Amino acid sequence: MSRPSILAVALPLLLAVAPTTRAEEGPRDALLTLEGEAALRARLWERLLLVAVRPQAGSMEDPTLLAQRYGQAARVAREGRTEVLTAALVVADAAEVRLARTGQEGDVPARVAHADDATLLARLDCGAPCEAMPALQAAEPEAWGIGRLVFFLVPAIAGQPVLAHTASLGRAGEPFEAMITVAGTLTPGTVLFDPVGHVVAIAVRTSPVRTDRTLAAVMTLPGPEPSQEGDEAAATPGSRAAIPPGPASPAAPSTLPAPVREDVGPAVHRPAPGGHP
């Protein structure tokens, strides 16, 4: 298979199961008109990247018979740096990784520069070609709040992608603090966008709780939560919470002595009625 044909092979295999999300489940500002949807689809299609991976062959496997893996990637500008990101599952155990821009012929070799265990994202590097690829801005944390619509491209037909959407179900919780849960089953590496075209998250794996949910690593996390009243008191000079704690007190005995009653005199022995003294 010639390398320029990667797109022709990858597009039919990158189908994602798009859940049916009612419009009223998302915020009103997330809905697009037909014209806005067409403009967003065209804009994202020019900037989306496709990843083709040839996996490493086992000791008893023929490398020429192994099926290639395909996924999506995006060059994202966030936190003062620009990186090409995809799901770590897409490039796991890769013998060769190649990147291609949608809508263009040819591809370039790439390498896995880093795979993050916390986010399950992989950072790819291809040198100068990667620097020339268009970058997408990372979306703000408000873009993945509960009920917010997120959009993704399904490259069903070469040159004619489908713009689908799903809904964010909020943060995934421990041990996936850097991820959100989205409705539906998405292919790892699927890039999720807000209505403006900023990258919200990248799908990384199926939810371990429900198979009809997907975990996606967000591009930006919210800052520290506002200080509570107790935290503000701790930062106030002279307050009780600002005083450093003293040495730990000794452990209390496991058995406490019975309380002493001072209002009762000495015990007096009284013989039982009809008994001996």
Q: pLDDT for 193-214, tens place per residue? A: 999 999 999 999 999 999 999 9
Average pLDDT, the chain: 76
263 inside domain: no
Q: How many domains does the chain have?
A: 1
Residues of the domain holding 103: 3-22+29-218
How high is the pLDDT of residue 254?
37
The pTM of the full predicted model, rounded to 2 decimals, is 0.70
Answer yes or no: is 101 within a domain.
yes
The count of other CB atoms within 10 Å of the CB of residue 155 is: 24
Residue corresponding to tokens 């265990």: 117
Report whether pLDDT(228) > 70. Answer: no
Q: Tell me the mean pLDDT in the region 46-65.
A: 88
Q: Which pLDDT does position 88 carry in this prediction?
A: 96
Distance CA(123)–CA(110), nearest Å, equals 10
What's the pLDDT tens digit per position in 7-42? 444 544 444 444 444 433 444 344 578 888 888 888
What pLDDT is stored for residue 47 in this prediction? 86
When pLDDT is cut at 50, 70 and 90, the band that residue 274 belongs to is low
Q: Is residue 152 assigned to a domain?
A: yes
- Domain CATH code at residue 42: 2.40.10.120
Is there a domain that residue 143 lies in? yes
Residue 200 lies in a domain: yes
Band (pLDDT 50/70/90 cuts) for residue 171 is: very high
* Position 155 in a domain: yes
Q: Confirm whether 253 is domain-assigned.
A: no
In the numeric block, the tokens 């799903």 are attached to 166
Residue 275 lies in a domain: no
Q: What per-residue confidence (pLDDT) applies to 224?
A: 54
